[in-house]
Structure 1
Amino acid sequence: MVVLNETDAQVAEEGGASRLALATSMNEGGRTPDIGVIESVINTVGVPVRVMIRPSGGSFTYCDKEQVKIAQTVKEIAELGGVDGIVVGALTSSGHVDRAFLEKIIPVTKGMKLTFNRAIDNTVDIHEAYDTICDYKEFVTHVLTSGGRPKAEDALLVLREMMAQSWERRGPVIMPCSGITGDNLAYIHQFLYAKYYQIGTAARVDRSFNQPLELEQVQQLSALCE
């Protein structure tokens, strides 16, 4: 469940969310929240919290200066203690997973788990990209993806192929996301039987990140995958 602040986190946990993805500026695709917000959330809830690491919206290709800044942010979050992991990812200018980026980030995570973000949906070959990520499966535990399409519902076959690939490689868990709602989650789950799904606006008033989470919606969405 995507949460933006302490109040969201409390509602999500009460509603049965198994883990939280903490971010800000979701209308821009998501950015890294302030350290104070991170600290507040991890001191409030007991479920695992993974923090989005993204300095700005737009491209997932970062210059050396941006990569240094990202690594410093990850180090600061790791030093807080209590954060389960981070959601991060980067691509080369040619549209492949940026190995050098991962190799800069992993040493400063201090045991935090990594979820590779939707950068994978912008790669030239999503299956090849997943294979590359598998080379770091000791550290990367999940891959957040909509199967290369704007919405997961439009890429169910690709997502099922990725889940099979995950099984064969004993690799990071595929976590479908984007466009998943109370109207289609049961159908998607019957097709994929994924262990986790990331829910964004589906549990919010007016399905907008400008509105709060609704406890009843969180509960209903959590129950659909039981």
Structure 2
Amino acid sequence: MSGINIGVLAVQGDVAENVMATKMAIEDLGMDGIVTEVKTPEQIEDLDGLVIPGGESTVIGTLSLVNGSLKKIKEKIASGMPVFGICAGMIMLSKKAKDRVVGEMDQPLLDYLDVRIERNTFGRQKDSFESEISMEKIGISKFQGVFIRAPSIIETGKDVEIISKFNEKIIAVKQGNILGTSFHPELTGDISLHKYFVGLVKAKH
């Protein structure tokens, strides 16, 4: 069996950091695989797994809609491809998003992750912070969460598993082949969450 092919959606956001963290995760697990920056539907077609990084979800969604990537990502998720949405990436995967300040947002969403998200729950850029969190359900007892304009999940559907909370707010979930976090794991030296995602990809490969 050939190695796995994981893409990082390279429209905007923490692309390089996620490429690096995913490469390190594959290496640490002793697996064969490549990690590439992807933008086009053609590049997405060949993937075994996809990371949608943090950034500005409205920009990422709009640009992906324009070039047809959004439609291809939906098709790939439907066929079982694991996807990891980080901060803005999790917002993009969701069914509904509203902003704590602005209210309901009319932005392109993938409409797959059965959650309702509140953008900017923890404040704006200047309110960024780090805190230790736990994800016992997926075997990660201690993790340093980096929260930058972070959203939270205010409602979950019946198939959504809550992985972590911070101050009683939901900050990490899993639904089938979809993993979503409010915080930025790629900005820490800890690759345990990326390793968990790589494991999901390997299991489907």
TM range (shorter): 0.3 to 0.5
Greater C-alpha Rg: 1
Q: Larger % of strand: which?
A: 2
Higher-RCO chain (CA-CA 8 Å, sequence separation at least 6):
2
After TM superposition, the score normalised by the length of structure 1 is 0.35
| Structure 2 length-normalised TM | 0.38
